[in-house]
Amino acid sequence: MQIHRTSLFLRWVLIADAVTCFASGLLLTLGAGILGGYLGLPEELLRYSGISLLPFAALLVYLATRENLSSFPVWTVIVLNTLWAIDSILLLLTGLVAPTELGNTFVVAQALGVAVLTVLEYFGLKRSARVTAVVS
């Protein structure tokens, strides 16, 4: 398994991902009852989504603070983020929920935000690989 020196760019993207996961996780976990009415999404879906984001945020902070990383944990984050974004859109397309217009906007906006962070994490990983190649 190849170890890479973690680029500053990747660290900042992981931190940004962690901060947004933590903030969203708290909002969804603690505000699920209120948000559910405005968004037209089930309270349980919002609460469990929020709860799932909190340990993920902790993992992201842990990874961001490592000076060296193998590519596996970063690829894991990329895959999980990709699945989150795809599943968010699929949730709307399946008709399993009946969100309000605000709910639709919320789900699409957070999916796009996650997708952007995912792309930035990919570029950060590639930049980390280049840093290792230059140092070696």
Q: What is the pLDDT of residues 57-95, one digit of tens each?
A: 999 999 999 999 989 999 999 999 999 999 999 999 999
Percentage helix, strand, coil, to 5, in the chain? 85, 5, 10
Q: What is the pLDDT of residues 86-127, one digit of tens each?
A: 999 999 999 999 999 999 999 999 999 999 999 999 999 998
Rounded distance between C-alpha atoms, residue 128 and residue 8, angstroms: 8
Rounded distance between C-alpha atoms, residue 64 and residue 14, angstroms: 6
Closest CA relative to residue 4, chosen from 120, 133, 122, 118: 133
Torsion sign, CA atoms 41, 42, 43, 44: negative
pLDDT confidence bin for 4, thresholds 50/70/90:
confident
